[in-house]
Copies of this chain bind each other. A is one copy, B any other.
Amino acid sequence: MKAYFNDHFINNPELKLHVADLSMQRGYAIFDFLRTIKNVPLFLNDHLDRFYHSATAMHLSVKQSREELTGIIHQLIEQNEIPEAGIRIMLTGGYSADSYNPAEPNLIITCNPVKTATKEDFEKGYSVITYEHQRELPHIKSISYLTAVWLQPLLKQKKVNDVLYYNQQSITEFPRCNVFIVTKDGQLVTPVNNMLKGITRKHVLELAAEFIPVKERNITVDELMNAAEVFLTATTKKIIPVVKINDTIISNGKPGPVTAQLYRQFLVLEQSLI
């Protein structure tokens, strides 16, 4: 596999950073992640918007212009020829002289085969637990997943698929996915504060606005537990119904009608792009 490192293409196994890089010294780096189908990068502009936003918010500068980065990503996709690939664009704090203050960033772009959620994953849905936690600087897509990874043994022990964070009684997000609820009076609602705005979330909001009232606002844990439908969105997971939260079965344990409609429409949108 080919990858890109700062200013040149490189073979993936050579993609190494010295441990002095601020990503390893202080966990200081941002990234973004998108998918390709048949060599078409999905929602590339949205992901580049967010990548440049994360970089600016983290006080890191990107040498490449948007046009240059777009060209590099297209070349990388063509060189690798992977039917379904995940592109990870990462920018680190660089080789810091004092192991603390950011230096010239290191840019790394990788292109690897990616597994996405299947129709079976959709039908089965997710069991999740809630957990009180607030991600640091949540509007930035940083590499900070300490609590998420640390919780993995607990999730395995509880035999659940993922963990939904809440902050003072308001749900925020999954470590790598956004959350939506359909209320019993037929509104689609999704959190807007203390979370990262996903690209799939954005397109689901646009699709939903055509056929259901949509609101971005705080959602309490109580409201979540009493929702008619709950689902999550993410780049590789697309849309997955949440059918169990802690010990509560949601939507009779099956994908609800609004979730199913959005899923069908999202697959159509995806196909329209390739």
Give residues in A with beta carbon < 8 Å to B.
13, 15-19, 21-29, 58-59, 90, 92-93, 100-102, 108, 110, 133, 136-137, 142-150, 152-153
A146 to B22, CA, bound (A): 10
Flag if B146 contacts A28 (CB, 8 Å): yes
Extra contacts besides A22-B149, A26-B146 (4): CB < 8 Å: A16-B16, A17-B19, A26-B145, A27-B29
A26 to B23, CA, bound (A): 9
Flag if A28 contacts B145 (CB, 8 Å): yes
A90-B24, A137-B146 known; A153+B59 contact, CB < 8 A: yes
* B residues in contact with A143, CB < 8 Å: 24-27
A110 to B20, CA, bound (A): 10
Which 9 residue pairs spanning A and B have beta carbons closest together? A27-B27, A16-B16, A26-B145, A27-B143, A28-B149, A23-B24, A136-B146, A144-B146, A27-B144
Flag if A17 contacts B24 (CB, 8 Å): yes
A19-B15, A23-B24 known; A100+B149 contact, CB < 8 A: yes
Selected from B13, B24, B149, the residue in CB contact (under 8 A) with A24 is B24
Flag if B27 contacts A146 (CB, 8 Å): yes
Q: How many copies does the complex hold?
A: 2
24 A-B pairs whose Cβ atoms sit less than 8 Å apart in the complex: A13-B18, A15-B19, A16-B16, A19-B90, A23-B23, A24-B29, A25-B143, A26-B143, A26-B145, A26-B146, A26-B149, A27-B27, A27-B29, A27-B142, A27-B145, A27-B146, A28-B145, A58-B150, A100-B148, A136-B147, A137-B147, A142-B146, A144-B144, A144-B146
* B residues in contact with A142, CB < 8 Å: 27, 146
Q: Which residue of B lies closest to A102 (CB)?
A: B149
* B residues in contact with A15, CB < 8 Å: 18-19
